[in-house]
Amino acid sequence: MNDVIDVSPAAPKDGLDPERDSSLRTIGHISYGLHAVVAVSAVLPGVQASVLLLLVAFILDMVKKSDAAGTWQESHFSWRIRTVLWAGGLYMVTSWLWILLFVPGWIAWTLISVWFLYRVVRGWLALSDRKPMPA
């Protein structure tokens, strides 16, 4: 009997080399961090982060998404991009409530902000656990 045990590291399932995987995860953490600053400031009264932070994260995700194509991390780029687009659209659609009626506008934007924060936290936790996001 010639039993050979292979102790070399297994190749990643998605074909990512460890350096590329680490680089994409770092970009993901930076992007989720920027999203989190904006999301928390949107939920807390009196704290306003610049929309510029969100734009930086959005552009970073758009530019680097192709680097993650075909990997589990691609789902995180799509998740963050969709989250920003949906939140932005919802803010725009409900902005008239702020102009006409303050309280309904405040309620709508608070709900959108809580949803945005939920998406950021859920995605960031999954990234930390190296799990893809649902499509």
10-residue averages of pLDDT along the chain (135 residues): 49 67 95 92 74 91 95 96 94 85 85 94 97 92
Say what the pLDDT of residue 12 is: 47
DSSP the chain: -------SPPPPTT---HHHHHHHHHHHHHHHHHHHHHHHHHHSTT----HHHHHHHHHHHHHHGGGGTTSTTHHHHHHHHHHHHHHHHHHHHHHHHHHH-HHHHHHHHHHHHHHHHHHHHHHHHHHHTT-PPP-
What pLDDT score does 10 carry? Answer: 43
Model pLDDT, residue 133: 96
